[in-house]
Amino acid sequence: MSARSGIGYDSHRFADGRKLILGGVEITEAERGLSGHSDADALTHALIDALLGAAGLGDIGQHFPDTDERWRNADSLGLLAEVCTFLDEHGWSVVHVDATVICETPKLGPHRDEMRETLASAIGINRLEVNVKFTTNEGMGAIGRGEGIAALAVATVDR
């Protein structure tokens, strides 16, 4: 048994004048997006950390530091694909990923299938091996007050 699991977490604050990108999908009905050095795709960032964690290869901040101009407004989907290539070079293949996005508004359910397709294509696995879930924080705390969006992820990799 050489399968391993990793966890990931990320959160970004809402900001006016930004597009909302989650799982590589633009949520066009959102009134604002998330602030960040890259495109601030919290879901994709949580997945990247889960994958790096599973492979024992560090975290997103080590590989794509937000002090580096190369990653300004970076397409996080491209970073995800790069990380999967990196894992492959270290002998790891991705078996499955699962994630939860915590967000009060907008409702993200209508975008679930497109996110699964988009993420699966960047990772290079079947979309059935990519699960994305949505929940709210029931009005509690910063996420509950609508100050931002958080995401949790789990990834399983195998030799």
Give me the residues that bind Mg ion (CB under 5 A), please.
10, 45
Q: Choose between 63 and 127: whose C-beta lies nearer to Mg ion.
A: 63
CB of 48 to Mg ion, least distance (A): 9
Query: Which two structure tokens, joined as six digits, stand for 74?
Result: 């970076």
Q: Choose between 45 and 96: whose C-beta lies nearer to Mg ion.
A: 45
Q: Choose between 80 and 108: whose C-beta lies nearer to Mg ion.
A: 80
- Closest by CA to 101, choosing from 17, 8, 38, is 8
Length of the chain: 159
Question: Which residue minimizes CB distance to Mg ion?
Answer: 45
Give the full edge-to-edge strand order of the sheet including 130-135: 33-34, 4-15, 148-158, 93-102, 130-135
CB of 36 to Mg ion, least distance (A): 6
CB of 41 to Mg ion, least distance (A): 7
Query: Which two structure tokens, joined as six digits, stand for 18?
Result: 């930004």
Q: Choose between 82 and 158: whose C-beta lies nearer to Mg ion.
A: 82
CB of 123 to Mg ion, least distance (A): 18
Strands (E), the chain: 4-15, 21-22, 25-26, 33-34, 93-102, 130-135, 148-158
